[in-house]
Amino acid sequence: MNPAIPPPRFTDPAVFGRVAVLMGGTSTEREVSLNSGQGVLDALRSRGVDAHAVDGIPALVDDIRAGQVDRVFNILHGNKGGGEDGVVQGLLDALGVAYTGPGVLGSALTMDKIRTKQVWIAEGLPTPRFVRVPAGGGPGSSPAQVLRAAVAELGFPVFVKPSSEGSSVGVFRILAEADLAPAVEFASGYAGELLAEQMVQGEEYTVGILGDLALPSIRIVPAGEWYDYHAKYIADDTQYLCPGMVGDDEAAIRALALAAFRAAGCTGWGRVDVMRDRVRGLQLIEVNTAPGMTSHSLVPKAAAQVGIDYADLCWRVLEQTLPEARA
């Protein structure tokens, strides 16, 4: 099932020059990014790469101006000071500095769950029904009123979540009317767009992407009722089954993930979250363009299944910043 994995194209760490591992920042995912960044930094240094930590975009600009950066390993998470919304990608493109992960288009688009789903729908790719809840509500309506109407249109059960956040920040699982109050309260104070999304009732999977390769799927089995922030980053009892499927099913989920990644304008590396509904089959949920690289993270788990250890994964991701590797 697994394709042959070619060896890294380069063996001399000097080809990378001075590498800034961009982490931290000011998004809601700062702490996760710092944990990911430290892992990447340690791994690159263990392979002899001249890597140093940079906390946030302003510090990166200072280092670039000082001539201390040849390329960037971007492990910032989120938006508004994170590195997944296209802002840092545009900055680095303008300054002529190579970086890991998708470019401006893929990063900006996939940070916005609503627009990503609109692209997938236009491409005929499966994703759950949703209703957009505009920032500020609508004409004559508050966000709370629009949210209640959206949930009523979709019917229970639903998820309510911000369109442009990650790591399960601000996500509400609503099974019945009694569960609505916390989501309504959040909507009343949240400045951005939300979406109400038809809940997929079935198994949860994720597929890592490395260049043109879809890594083995991972089936996520949390000890609790769903895969929330605690299950992602804190709990030690979440099960990760890799590969998550077998045979034709495994081939199908990998092909779908790669198609979804490309449809959203993404290149490089990332992660596509997928669920398998008991009735509707595979359903695309979202794309992560700077996936977590903590001890609980999923892309390293999938890479290990095809013989790519953590340090080798970091090396291969960094290789993609070299023009020779993209030829």
Please indicate whether residue 212 is annotated as part of the active site. no
Please indicate whether residue 288 is annotated as part of the active site. yes
Separation CA 83–CA 23 (nearest Å)? 8
Which entry of 190, 205, 233, 310 is annotated as an active-site residue? Answer: 233
Which entry of 227, 288, 312, 316 is annotated as an active-site residue? Answer: 288
Which entry of 27, 33, 107, 167 is annotated as an active-site residue? Answer: 167
Q: Is 6 exposed, middle or buried (0-12, 13-18, 19+ CB in 10 A)?
A: exposed
Write down the residue that tokens 């949860």 correspond to: 204
Which entry of 30, 271, 276, 316 is annotated as an active-site residue? Answer: 271
> Which residue, 174, 169, 35, is CA-closest to 113?
169
Tokens at residue 191, please?
Answer: 């400045």
Separation CA 295–CA 300 (nearest Å)? 9
Angle at 5 between CA 4 and CA 11, to 5 degrees: 145
Which entry of 55, 74, 292, 310 is annotated as an active-site residue? Answer: 292
Which entry of 24, 25, 29, 83 is annotated as an active-site residue? Answer: 29
Q: Strand 172-174: give its sheet, edge to edge.
A: 130-133, 194-198, 158-162, 172-174
In one-letter notation, the amino acid at residue 113 is K
Please indicate whether residue 292 is annotated as part of the active site. yes
Which entry of 165, 193, 197, 286 is annotated as an active-site residue? Answer: 286
Tokens at residue 115, please?
Answer: 């627009």
Separation CA 71–CA 68 (nearest Å)? 9
Which entry of 85, 273, 312, 319 is annotated as an active-site residue? Answer: 273
Please indicate whether residue 167 is annotated as part of the active site. yes
Separation CA 156–CA 272 (nearest Å)? 25
Active site residues: 29, 167, 233, 271, 273, 286, 288, 292
